[in-house]
Amino acid sequence: MESEVLSEGHRPVRNNELECPVCSKTFDNLGQLNHHLDFDHGFDGDESKGGNGTSSGKFISQGEESLEADNKRVRHQNKLMIRNHWKKPSPEHQNCHVCKRPLNQINGCINCRKCGELFCKMDCRNVMRLNANAEYDPLNGRWVNCCYQCFIRRDGYNDYGSVVDLIDQFKTLRHKKNEDKKLMQLQLENRLVLLIDGISRILKKNGNGVFMSYRVSKEISLLERTVTAWKDDRAALNCPICSQSFGLTLRKHHCRLCGSIVCDNKTTNCSNQVPLAYLANAATDLPFKEFNPQTVDKDYSIRICSQCIHILYVGRKFRRDIEQPASILLARCESIYNLSQVISNIWPLLNSRLEEIENAQKQNASPNPALIAEATKLRKKLLRAVESYNILTRQISSMSPRNAAQKKIQQSFQIASSIFITEKILKLKSIPIISPRVNENRGSNESTPEVQKLSDIVFNDLTIKEIKVCREELMVLKEQKFLVESMIENAKKQRKFDEIAVLDRNLLELKGKIEEIQNRLGEQGFH
Amino acid sequence: MFQFKLVLLGDSSVGKSSIVHRFVKDSFDDFRESTIGAAFLSQTIKIRDTSSDSTEDTVIKFEIWDTAGQERYKSLAPMYYRNANAALVVYDITQQDSLSKAQNWVNELKNKVGDEDLIICLLGNKLDLCDSSDNGDKRAVMTDEAKVYAEEQDLLFYEVSAKTGQGVKDVFQSIGEKLYQIKKEEMLSKKGRQAASAKDSVNVKLQRPSTNDPTSCCY
């Protein structure tokens, strides 16, 4: 709090009077102003981040100003919210508007701030944001009680919550931030070019002589200070990046690009001595004029903080990585992904065709040959896709990864494809073969189904619907078997042997029935 | 001691399990979960033989299969009504369509089992929801309607309440008596035939009758 008053102090001090920077009220001493700011304007938060160590501080300040203005507006409105639409308790209005309960001490007696009707406590529990005219204002309004009807009738209300469109706001903020970032980058780039060119020039001019070194370093240090203003050593107590306090062991260093004072801790990596050649080679798009990597002393390096390196080089590295062609593994992974998309797209199509055929079959209508041909084509396509999926999966698992990242990608693709296979390929088994002749080699994917008759869509002489019914029955029977088994266990514990006999008989019966249905289902049962 | 297999059938949530629990454990749960598959319970009752001169009570045991009413478990029902001695077809007297479901069950039983000796009992449950005068009558199925149907089809007919327990014991008692009657006649005729075929054969009773006494070691 103290720092805030100080930073804004240069304005109010006039004729020994202090003026509030928000509402222009005057005060006799700092303490009063402080109190006024805290309680009337709500500055008791932690907004004292104005003195940000980095040069990005000035960009933030604008946002803070608008926040203050918002706060001011909201608090101003609170006091002025209209009440003349409020109904007063009277003989006509002595019951709750909704539940008709009498309004009294126990039930409560509250006006809905929006419609003004009188409600009991229970029926006026919703809250919404209203402005001074008791209108819905989702941004600047104050949270007040309202009735359920007003609550659900407000603009943008949904059962799952209200919708407030903040996209434009977000866009402007983001745009602003991006502009700031670009500006910052441009500034740093210009400084880097100036610095590297200048150092190269100085080094070239003076040659490599040992006794020149003092003059050279002096010249360079002068150049560095002209490129960017160095921050004052005395003001810096902590490293702005890692927040450790400077001392005998942790020395202060200036970043040659942004001028801020950072530490040289090897573990936090706040700043580094980076050779000029590295800096220039990593940013070849910058217009260096004097710099020549062959002639410049390769050992010469300048100190740059990690933030500047991040701003300057992360984007460049990313762009360069993208330009490089993807590795074989990644190419395979991409094609396997495309294949999985193809397979999942064909599924619903094929299923709908099969359903149409089945429906036609039910109505004993003559089969549509085009439909069946299409279904056959789709099935072929699906099988081919699944086959190549299998091949690709095997290829990916047989590859030897070059680094840890590739190994991770390989592993996750192996997991994903195994899940995909168990999901889809198992379903593949339940696709009816469109010809009974290929029933024998159903297991292999090379089957070439040909349509002969509509009624051929059967498995083990069961239609799809019968299979469904049988599976359901089997499931119920297995459930019951489990139940009876647990009943037998219970009966054994309670020594009810005559019950066990009955249950045992039932269990045998169940097992027989389960076996019967499993035989009927054949391969279509659960395994 | 005689043992009889008894099965409960009917639409879901008519109160089959509640009736059984009222009969077996004399308890009622307001929030019973719906039955999965078929549950097995057993209970014994005593029957006084009125025709014979002995004053001793006969104990008969019910093996009750309480089936689930949900459609999903319908395929299980045949296993349990097959070889059953009695079937309780339950409907809810506050739900009209539960009666038609019950009628479907009766038809299925008559078609599939076709046993003359199978005793089918039509049972209207939830009587407690109807005779409370202050809370409004929720009855949707008139007693006469069901009674006429039961007489047509030659079924036993009762209206009960599993919640209050009204009539539940009587149902099982009368079914037990009827079953006992049938069994006795059967045995008598068998005996008669046996006696006719082998007059001199000596019957040795190998099985000692169970005492059904909890204090006894052979309980």
A38 part of contact set with chain B, CB < 8 Å: no
Domain around B125: 2-197
- Helix spans in A363-403 (H): 369-398
3-state helix, strand, coil in chain A (%, to 5): 55, 10, 35
Residue of A506, A511, A516, A520 for testing the chain B interface, max B β-carbons within 10 Å: A506
Task: Name the minimum distance, in Å, from the CA of B142 to any CA of chain A.
Answer: 35
* Buried residues in B9-47 as b, exposed as e (16+ CB within 10 A): bbbbbbbbbbbbbbbeeeebeeeeeebebbbbbbbebeb
User: For residue B170, is it within any domain?
Assistant: yes
- The Cα A35–Cα A22 span in angstroms is 13
- Name the residue in chain A with its Cα closest to that of B80: A506
pLDDT (tens digit per residue) in A287-327: 887 777 666 666 678 889 999 998 888 888 888 888 877 77
Q: How confident is the model at residue A4 (pLDDT cuts 50, 70, 90)?
A: very low
Chain-wide mean pLDDT for chain A? 77
Given a cut of 80, is residue A159 above it in pLDDT?
no
Residue A123's pLDDT is what?
85
In a domain, B31, yes or no: yes
The pLDDT of residue A87: 84
Q: Is the pLDDT of residue B166 over 80?
A: yes
Compute the count of residue pairs across chains A and B with CB atoms less than 8 Å apart.
40
Name every chain A residue with its beta carbon within 8 A of the beta carbon of B210: 498
Phi/psi for A285 (5° steps) reads -75, -15
Is the Cβ of A507 closer than 8 Å to some Cβ of chain B? no
- Into how many domains does chain B fold? 1
Q: Which of B63, B76, B210 sits opposite A502 (nearest CB)?
A: B63
Please check the confidence at residue A348 and state whether its pLDDT lies above 60. yes
Confidence of residue A143 (pLDDT cuts 50, 70, 90): confident
Look up the CATH number of the domain holding residue B45. 3.40.50.300
Q: Find the distance separating the first CA and the last CA of chain A, reported in whole Å.
A: 72
CA distances from A251 to A266, B146, B165 (A): 12, 99, 90
Contact A419, A326 (CB under 8 A): no
Please give the pLDDT value at position A445: 38
- A147-156, A284-293, B18-27: range with lowest mean pLDDT: A284-293
First to last CA, chain B: 13
How does DSSP assign A75-90, residue by residue?
HHHHTT---TTPPPP-
d(CA A12, CA A282) in angstroms, rounded, equals 50
Mean pLDDT of B106-117: 84
Would the pLDDT of A47 be above 50?
no
The C-alpha atoms of residue A499 and residue B65 are separated, in whole angstroms, by 12
* Number of residues that this document lists for chain A: 527
CA-based nearest residue in chain A for residue B42 = A499
> Does pLDDT of A522 surpass 80?
no
Indicate the SS3 state at residue A115. coil
Higher pLDDT residue, B72 or A213?
B72
Given a contact cutoff of 8 angstroms between Cβ atoms, the answer to whether B122 and B91 are in contact is: yes
A14-23, A148-157, A272-281, A295-304: least confident range: A14-23
A181-185, B32-36, B54-58: least confident range: B54-58
Integer angstrom CA distances of residue A426 from A114, A349, A405, A429: 59, 18, 31, 5
CB spacing of A479 vs B37 below 8 angstroms? yes
- Write the pLDDT tens digit of every residue in A329-343: 888 888 888 888 888
Residue pointed to by tokens 């359901």: A472
Q: Contact A54/A260 with Cβ under 8 angstroms?
A: yes
**Whole-complex ipTM:** 0.80
8 Å CB contact between B159 and B143: yes
Per-residue pLDDT, A222: 86
The predicted structure's pLDDT at residue B44: 92
- CA–CA gap between residue A227 and residue A193 (Å, rounded): 10
- B3, B42, B76: residue with CB nearest A480: B76
In a domain, B208, yes or no: no
Strand, helix or coil for residue B74: helix
Judged by CB atoms closer than 8 Å, whether chains meet at B40 and A503 is answered as yes
How many angstroms separate the CA atoms of A34 and A32, rounded?
5
Which residue from A125, A121, A141, A122 is spatially nearest to A133, judged by alpha carbons? A141
Q: At what angle do helices A328-362 and A464-493 cross, to 10 degrees?
A: 100
Torsion of CA B138, B140, B144, B150, to 10 degrees: -120
Q: Who among B36, B42, B63 is closest to A479 (CB)?
A: B36
Residue B204 in domain: no
Q: Residue B14: pLDDT band by 50, 70, 90 thresholds?
A: very high
pLDDT of res. B196: 65
In angstroms, rounded to a whole number, what is the distance separating the alpha carbons of residues A308 and A311? 5
Contact residues on chain B for A506, CB-CB shorter than 8 A: 40, 79
Question: Of all residues in chain B, what percent carry a pLDDT higher than 70?
Answer: 83
Q: Give the Cα separation of B20 and B65 in Å (integer).
A: 9
Q: Is the Cβ pair A499, B76 closer than 8 Å?
A: no
Q: Which long-range contacts (CB under 8 A, 24 or more apart) does A270-274 make?
A: A270/A239, A270/A241, A270/A242, A270/A305, A270/A306, A271/A303, A271/A304, A271/A305, A271/A306, A272/A303, A272/A304, A272/A306, A272/A309, A273/A301, A273/A302, A273/A303, A274/A301, A274/A302, A274/A303, A274/A304, A274/A309
pLDDT at B202 over 90: no
Distance from the Cα of A523 to chain B's closest Cα (Å) equals 22
Mean of the pLDDT values across residues A108-117? 86
The more confidently predicted of residues A264 and A209 is: A264
| Residues in a beta bridge with B46 | B59
**Does residue A410 surpass a pLDDT of 60?**
yes
Q: Is residue B214 part of a domain?
A: no
Within a domain: B17: yes
Q: How confident is the model at residue A450 (pLDDT cuts 50, 70, 90)?
A: very low
* Weakest mean pLDDT among A278-287, A337-346, A465-474, B188-197: B188-197
On chain A, the residues whose CB falls within 8 A of the CB of B75 are 472-473, 476-477
Task: Please give the average per-residue pLDDT across A142-157, as a whole number.
Answer: 85
Task: Please enumerate in sequence order all residues whose Cβ is within 8 A of that of B72, keeping only pairs 6 or more positions apart, or say none.
Answer: A472, A476
User: Residues A26-47: what's their mean pLDDT?
Assistant: 71
pLDDT of residue A176: 95
pLDDT at res. A23: 78
Contacts of A157 (CB under 8 A, 6+ apart): A151
pLDDT at B218: 54
Query: How is chain B split among helix, strand and coil, in percent rounded to 5?
Result: 35, 20, 40
pLDDT confidence of residue B11? 92
Beta-carbon separation of A509 and B79 below 8 A: yes
The reply to whether B215 falls in a domain is no
Across all residues in chain B, what is the average pLDDT? Answer: 85
For residues A340 and A382, is the Cβ–Cβ distance under 8 A? no
Under a CB-based contact definition with an 8 Å cutoff, are residues A111 and A121 in contact? Answer: no
User: In this predicted structure, what is the pLDDT of residue B201?
Assistant: 54
Q: Give the minimum alpha-carbon distance from A446 to chain B in angstroms, rounded to a whole number.
A: 39
Share of chain A above pLDDT 70, in %: 77
Q: State pLDDT tens for residues A220-238.
A: 888 888 888 888 888 888 8
Give residue B100's pLDDT: 93
pLDDT in tens, A92-106: 788 888 888 888 888
DSSP 8-state secondary structure symbol assigned to residue B115: -
Which residues from A are below 8 Å from B76, CB to CB? 476-477, 480
Residue B124 DSSP label: E
Q: Which of A360-374, B34-48, B52-66 has the lowest mean pLDDT?
A: A360-374
Q: Give residue A457's pLDDT band: very low, low, confident or very high (50, 70, 90).
A: very low
% pLDDT > 90, chain B: 48
d(CA A419, CA A67): 50
The predicted pLDDT at position A70 comes to 59
DSSP A186-228: HHHHHHHHHHHHHHHHHHHHHTT-STTHHHHHHHHHHHHHHHS
Mutate to test the interface with A, among B61, B75, B207 (most CBs of A within 10 A): B75
Q: Does A500 touch chain B (CB under 8 A)?
A: no
Residues of A in contact with B73 (CB under 8 A): 476, 480
In DSSP notation, A130-145 reads E-TTS-B-TTT-EEEE
pLDDT of residue A13: 42
* Separation in Å, CA B180 to CA A111, B59, B60, B113, B187: 74, 10, 8, 20, 10
Specify the length of chain B in residues.
219
Residue A3 has pLDDT above 60, yes or no: no
The count of C-alpha atoms lying within 13 angstroms of the C-alpha of B2, restricted to the half-sphere facing its C-beta, is 22
Contact A118, A103 (CB under 8 A): yes
**The pLDDT value given to residue A524:** 63
Token pair recorded at residue B208: 């000692």
Identify the pLDDT of residue A64.
Answer: 53
CB contact under 8 A, A513 and B79: yes
